[in-house]
Structure 1
Amino acid sequence: MTLVSGWGRFPVVDTEMLRPRAFAAVADAVVSGTVARGNGRAYGDAAIGAVRIVAMTGFDRIRWFDPATGRIRLEAGVLLSDLIETFGPRGFLPFVLPGTRFVSIGGAIAADVHGKNHHCEGGFGRYVDSILLRTGEGELIEASREQNSDAFFATIGGMGLTGVILEATLRLRKVETGWIRERVISASDLDAAMRALDAGDAATYSVAWIDCAARGKDLGRSLIYLGEHAGEDELPAGAAAFPAGKHPGLGVPIDLPSMTLNRFGIRAFNELYYRMGARRAGGSHVVSLYPYFFPLDSLADWNRIYGKRGFLQHQCVIPENVARDVLGEILGRVARRGDASFLAVLKKLGEGEGILSFPLPGYTLALDFPVRGDILNFLDEIDRLVVAAGGRLYLAKDARQSRETLEAGYPALPRFNAIRKALDPAGNIRSKLSQRLFDEV
């Protein structure tokens, strides 16, 4: 048995971990209470089996690539970082780049991960053509929009609960360079931030860092980052068309004391970060894709900043028509509480691809909180605001929401459950997340 957690390091669970090396062995590994796990970047308990984990990172081969169309067939354990570093210099990148490049392709499909371009280009699942799935019954099926379509749309965003993803066929984007033309906008409050994001709808990429410690007239002040793929003629003198991908250098060697993230330190950091960003506002700059899409990847084991008890990320999406008031209320409560993270992000989303995909048209807010004090009760209060607004929480980040919150936020849940039951009538595929939120009790 092995102690395992998600990236948030909460909860920590004692479970069995198997590392099969052949697809045939995956079927033998699936017993009651099994779920697949990629690179462990789901924050909560989604990739922790109720009894057993099937680790998939050993399945990391690329089957074929067609440079004429950008289509690629690859195993589910391939990391997004490997895909970027292998095909970026050839002029191809994934259409969707989430906040970390160290996620597996299987995990990206299971969570239907989104990036800074969801408002105009959708999520990861939109660029998946087909999936090779091992069901809980041991059946091997190819699922696509035309073939086994129920299984296909349930698997995209289905958090690994339809079976084990073995392979997938994706479409990649043709690019000239690995650089982004970035424009920074300084927003003095939440209204200005939302106006800037709305005005940036035509931009391919848009995201806001939001100061969740700001209060009063400064509530919701933000830095908005708009981006487009840069052409070769826009690069700095002497720059290679595709920058080298640096693996994390410095890291966090120990679990920091819980007092490290206090309201005074967070407030001071946010003040400095906002002022530095505001100085860059107005013009455009060409930056490498790595700091633009993956700012935290440069610091290894950054999750240890929150201490040995771990942290919780609360990521919600609020429908556009009520977003301003609800986000203002959430941010006001967080600012008064005083212990939210410096890693707060606001983005716009469009429609999701899968039956249980997180996105819906509106604004998504992601906040990190150290596990301490009455944080679980506080987040229950925030959940009630989200549910009342017609929003929902992201399952890939969740470690503690209630069944009632899930059911209120995901009206297609009965359809998903019926497809899951048809694929796995014995209920072999079960995770700690599904035990908490889906499975019969």
Structure 2
Amino acid sequence: MQPEQQPTCGWGRYPILPAVVHRARWLQDLVNSGETTLAQGRLRSYGDAGLAEVAISTLSLNRFLDFDAETGILEVEAGLTLDEILRFIVPRGWFLPVTPGTKHPTIGGCVAADVHGKNHHADGSFYSHVEAMTLATAEGQILRCCRQEHADLFSATFGGMGLTGYIYAVRLRLLPISSDRIDTVTYRTADLQQTCDLLSSTQSEYRYSVAWVDLLSRRRRGRGLVMLGDHGSGSQLAPHTGDGLPVPLLPEIALSRWPLRLGNIAYYRRQWTRERRVRVHYDRFFYPLDGLRAWNRAYGRRGFLQYQFVVPFEGGLSCIERFLDQVGEEATCSLAVLKSFGDGPTGPLGFPEPGWTLALDYPRTDRTIRALRDATSVIREAGGRIYLAKDAILEPTHFQGMYSQLEEFVQIKKRYDPHNRLRSAQSDRLGIT
């Protein structure tokens, strides 16, 4: 492994921390690491979850290991990205069973963050579709983990943010498709209540559902566009193409309240009818922001924060309203996306639980950080939690009050990493390590 010293940051471009990065090319490189470190992929988590003083890059561990075209069981090394996997499986009539809103994370990162998608209410998170994985522990053991073997380590790795071991390979059960198209329907809604009602009433009809919501509207906060979809029929199976258009650094004025409010008005009004049906390629439906290459640069040199939480359905809508009221004018939300979570297994530090999940993008300022930290108490008191894959500012007391299985996770980690070699900037900040 050849070390490289460099500044590193997550997708939010905050914080930026120095790191020595080693590159693993074979499984043995993970076993022989022997120092305090963390596995690192494409750094598509938003905050400091993937940052460490010493990291091992898995990007050269990008080989396909096994594929059964009849059953759709795929095994790949951890550094392979969803982008690379999709280019391989779509022409063969298969799709990812769960996918986040970008196709650029590594498969190892998807396990570590236990990613979810627009179909959690129907299919759960990544946890539900991984058959097995191979991990190298911090003590140098190579373990094959599944629900029957080393089940504690298998479970804790989902949502464990890389703290349980170096993921080497993942065995995943794919979803069969007959077309690369998604049949979509989009509805305009008048306020947050109507948005939530529509998401609730359509869950049994559509595999995929998500809502863009306008939180800057003065009179109808929470109005939005509810987008629903299912895999279409047909015989065309073309993978995505292209890398998207580059995005320049924008001046801070472009990210102030009035320009963003005008942008929201334009986006909301681009659909003139209440209902619109269209068939689109999967790339457009699942990964719209990937059409803008390095779109995180739009937030300028300060970077941005994505703050994502989930709150139970019971009282969830009023909790969201209280949270937004408390943040008020102190923080300007540039993008808000609402989804619903259903039942589904996850690890001790897994994020999803039945309820409403709201992901909010904010240009980073000290004022915004203070406002979000103050309003986090609203989420905690409602029985909600913050998604660690998006977090850069959560405080230890709030974290410990949100994750009731934290002690279980810590004990499993100690079992396989007794010297606490696996750690990140986030795990140190939150008091996990």
TM over 0.5: yes
Structure 1 residue 356 displacement after superposition: 1.1
CA–CA distance in 2 between the matches of 1:284 and 1:85? 27
Give me the CA root mean square deviation: 1.3
Q: Residue 112 of structure 1 contacts residue 124 of structure 1 at CA under 8 Å; is this kept in 2?
A: yes
Q: Residue 327 of structure 2 contacts residue 371 of structure 2 at CA under 8 Å; is this kept in 1?
A: no
1:42 aligns with 2:45: yes
Aligned residues with identical type, % of pairs: 37
- Corresponding residue for residue 119 of structure 1: 121
- Corresponding residue for residue 314 of structure 2: 321
Pairing 1:51-90 to 2, within 5 Å after superposition:
51-90=53-92
1:207 aligns with 2:210: yes
Pairing 1:326-341 to 2, within 5 Å after superposition:
326-334=319-327, 336-337=329-330, 339-341=332-334
- Corresponding residue for residue 18 of structure 1: 22
CA–CA distance in 2 between the matches of 1:270 and 1:338? 16
Q: Residue 306 of structure 2 contacts residue 361 of structure 2 at CA under 8 Å; is this kept in 1?
A: yes
Could you tell me which runs of 5 or more consecutive residues in structure 2 were left unpaired when the two chains were aligned.
none
Secondary structure at the counterpart of residue 245 of structure 2: coil
- Corresponding residue for residue 337 of structure 2: 345
The one-letter code matched in structure 2 to 1:359 is P
Partner residue of 2:266 out of 249, 263, 272? 272
Q: Residue 42 of structure 1 contacts residue 397 of structure 1 at CA under 8 Å; is this kept in 2?
A: yes
The one-letter code matched in structure 2 to 1:12 is I
TM-score between both structures, scaled by the size of structure 1: 0.94
Aligned residues: 427
Q: Residue 199 of structure 2 contacts residue 226 of structure 2 at CA under 8 Å; is this kept in 1?
A: yes
Secondary structure at the counterpart of residue 114 of structure 2: coil
CA–CA distance in 1 between the matches of 2:431 and 2:133? 23
Q: Deviations over 1:85-131 (max 9, x none)?
A: 11101100110011000010000000000000001110111100111
Structure 1 residue 258 displacement after superposition: 1.8
Pairing 1:2-401 to 2, within 5 Å after superposition:
2-32=6-36, 34-49=37-52, 51-202=53-204, 203-216=206-219, 218-232=220-234, 241-253=236-248, 255-277=249-271, 279=272, 281-334=274-327, 336-337=329-330, 339-341=332-334, 343-351=335-343, 352-401=345-394
The one-letter code matched in structure 2 to 1:410 is Y
Structure 1 residue 2 displacement after superposition: 1.1
Q: Residue 212 of structure 2 contacts residue 336 of structure 2 at CA under 8 Å; is this kept in 1?
A: yes
The one-letter code matched in structure 2 to 1:21 is R
Secondary structure at the counterpart of residue 422 of structure 1: helix
The one-letter code matched in structure 1 to 2:82 is L
Could you tell me which runs of 5 or more consecutive residues in structure 1 were left unpaired when the two chains were aligned.
233-239
1:433–1:353 CA distance, 2 compared to 1 (3 A) = same
The one-letter code matched in structure 2 to 1:63 is L
Structure 1 residue 283 displacement after superposition: 3.7
- Corresponding residue for residue 236 of structure 1: none
CA–CA distance in 2 between the matches of 1:419 and 1:102? 30
The one-letter code matched in structure 2 to 1:311 is F
Secondary structure at the counterpart of residue 396 of structure 1: helix
TM-score between both structures, scaled by the size of structure 2: 0.96
Q: Residue 18 of structure 1 contacts residue 29 of structure 1 at CA under 8 Å; is this kept in 2?
A: no
Q: Residue 213 of structure 1 contacts residue 335 of structure 1 at CA under 8 Å; is this kept in 2?
A: no
CA–CA distance in 2 between the matches of 1:6 and 1:168? 23
CA–CA distance in 2 between the matches of 1:271 and 1:31? 52
CA–CA distance in 2 between the matches of 1:383 and 1:247? 39
Structure 1 residue 154 displacement after superposition: 0.2
Structure 1 residue 424 displacement after superposition: 0.3
Q: Residue 210 of structure 1 contacts residue 344 of structure 1 at CA under 8 Å; is this kept in 2?
A: yes
